A = this chain, B = another copy of it.
Amino acid sequence: MTELTISLDGTSGKPLYEQIYDHIKNEIQRGGLPFKERLPSTRKLAQYLQVSRSTVDMAYEQLISEGYIEAVPCRGYFVCEVSGLYESPVPVREAKSRPREEQPHYRYDFSPNGVDLKSFPYNAWRKLSKTVLMDDSSELFMLGDPSGEERLKTTIAAHLHRARGVNVRPEQIVIGAGTDYLLMLLQVLLPGRCRIAMENPTYKKAYQVLKNLGNDMCVIDMDGSGMEVEKLKASGAEIAYVMPSHQYPLGTVMPISRRLKLLGWAYEREERYLIEDDYDSEFRYKGKPIPALQGYDRQGKVIYLGTFSKSIAPAIRVSFLVLPERLLAVYQERGRAFSSTVSRVDQMIVAAFLEEGYYERHLNKMRAIYKGRHDLLLEGLRAIKGIEVTGENAGVHLLVHFQNGLTEEEALERAAKAGIRVYGLSAYYVTEKEKETKPTVILGYANIEEHEIREAASLLKHAWENKKTAQP
């Protein structure tokens, strides 16, 4: 039996039992107390250290719990085998901060991903948050249905039917925290790795997400009506990911004939599906909204993907899938294992936001704000010679095509020199387009106020109109 000489410090603030525990543990770890060594009885050690027996009891019990020693009835306490693998804890490494990219400073940034958050209805949101949390309703803090709350699903179904012509029962809806998550979940429902076709150019974030999920990705060139169906057929893809109401980034509205052809393609084989990403259908400044492709689907081939990221705010992590019947059955079987990623509190806030008319009012307000910016930017750009503007009437960005000899790179550079950030279309192509295309840049106007647009447009006119050769 070992004599245990432990220097206890009554003033250290560390409980005595913990000091004893630490000492013995460290001795075992460094090999000072070897395997099978017998420890003094709690009575003897307590006497020796001049502490109460319960203090030693507590230290021993903790050592037993963690497996450093064991109690053998009628024989005493023995050191367990803590094999040679033990090494002292690893020191926490210093943070290696990722190097920050040097960003040039821009006066105006026409980011196509902007959202005007100055107009976010903070008061309404606060009020609804408060109301939802008011009742100490413990139910709200229990885990809800994996597919989302009945109330929110019913509200979204009614909204989709009314505003988007989507043909949907609440049961078909799955709520999720963002479209990336919903694509992950969709992957679980599909039979493993798929060949997925996307438009070219496209929303590269979704391309990357689907690729990182292990799918075999391909891109299909677009003509003026959208994805070319003959090329889609030739690609061998099982799934086509499209944005029929307002293609990102080109702004193409897919006409009814192309929609029906795409559906026809999907009808041909059981494993084929269309993913309809209806990301920003809310913002259309002329006429009625373009109905969703899903509403024309008669054979359960369209997986509809919607979000409140664009229409409320990016950080509102509430998106939704509308599953066709066959995938719904798979979801019931395999998907319900995954708990909902949106808290019930957040779901209730969004449901109330829709039900109480805040959503519609917010959309109307944003439509008016964005339309003002859209009109002004369009006017400013149309005053520039040698360029053509497309993508108007919807969304929150315009495309500028150069016919004056400027390359995309030159257009970006000249804008940058004038303190303005615009975005090259080439970055949205996954592979080079087969046909030569005009140099094109994208200007998102969601987050730029009207007086800034005026100023920026006149700077751009100066930057882009000068003949190529006139540039120093």
Residues of A within 8 A of B (CB): 18, 21, 58, 61-62, 65-68, 80-83, 85-87, 89-96, 98, 115, 117-118, 120, 122, 125-126, 129-130, 133-134, 136, 138, 140-144, 161, 165, 167-171, 176-178, 180-181, 184-185, 188, 192, 205, 208-209, 212-214, 225, 253-261, 263-264, 286-288, 290-291, 295-298, 309, 313-317, 332, 334-335, 337-346, 393
Contacts and interface: CB of A to CB of B under 8 A. Distances in A.
Contact of A141 (B98, B315, B393): B315
A184 B178 CA distance: 14
12 contacts: A66-B290, A82-B257, A83-B264, A92-B169, A120-B136, A177-B181, A177-B341, A178-B340, A180-B337, A188-B213, A192-B214, A212-B338
A35 B95 CA distance: 67
A342 B317 contact: yes
Question: Can you tell how many copies of this chain the complex includes?
Answer: 2
A171 B96 contact: yes
Nearest to A206: B337
A92 to B, nearest CB: 6
Given A61-B286, A85-B261, A177-B343, 10 more contacts: A21-B288, A80-B255, A80-B257, A82-B256, A93-B169, A118-B138, A126-B130, A142-B314, A176-B341, A343-B346
A66 B253 contact: yes
A94 B168 CA distance: 10
A288 B136 CA distance: 32
A428 to B, nearest CB: 16
A263 B67 contact: no
Contacts of A297: 90
Contacts of A144: 315
Nearest to A325: B93
Contact of A90 (B117, B167, B192): B167
A142 B296 CA distance: 34
Residue in A287, A332, A346 whose Cβ sees the most chain B Cβ within 10 Å = A287
B58 A287 contact: yes
Given A82-B260, A316-B141, A334 B90 contact: no
B143 A315 contact: yes
Nearest to A86: B260
Contacts of A89: 165, 167, 295-296
A249 to B, nearest CB: 18
B67 A258 contact: yes
Contacts of A62: 287-288
A338 B176 CA distance: 13
Contacts of A205: 337
A208 B188 CA distance: 12
A167 B344 contact: no
